[in-house]
Amino acid sequence: MDRIKRLFDSKKNEKILSVYFTAGFPQKDSTVDVIKALSDGGVDMIEIGIPFSDPMADGPVIQQSSQKALDNGMTQNLLFEQLKDIRKVTDIPLILMGYINTAMQFGFENLCKKAVEVGVDGFIIPDIPLEEYISQYKPIVEKYGLKFILLITPETPEERIRKIDSVSSGFVYMVSSASTTGAQNSFSEDKQHYFRKIADMDLKNPTLVGFGVSNKATFDAACEHSRGAIIGSAFIRALEEQPTVQEAVKSLISKL
Catalytic residues: 47, 58
Distance separating alpha carbons of residues 17 and 199, to the nearest angstrom: 18
C-alpha to C-alpha distance for 17 and 86, rounded to whole angstroms: 20
CA separation for the pair 219, 203 (Å, rounded)? 21
Give the span between the Cα atoms of 106 and 191, in whole angstroms. 37
Q: E-strand spans in the chain?
A: 16-22, 45-49, 94-97, 122-124, 147-148, 151-152, 172-175, 207-210, 228-231
Contact by Cβ (8 Å): 124, 47: yes
DSSP 150-193: -EE-TTS-HHHHHHHHHH--S-EEEESSSS-----S---HHHHH
Q: Which of 108, 17, 31, 88 lies closest to 65, judged by CA?
A: 31
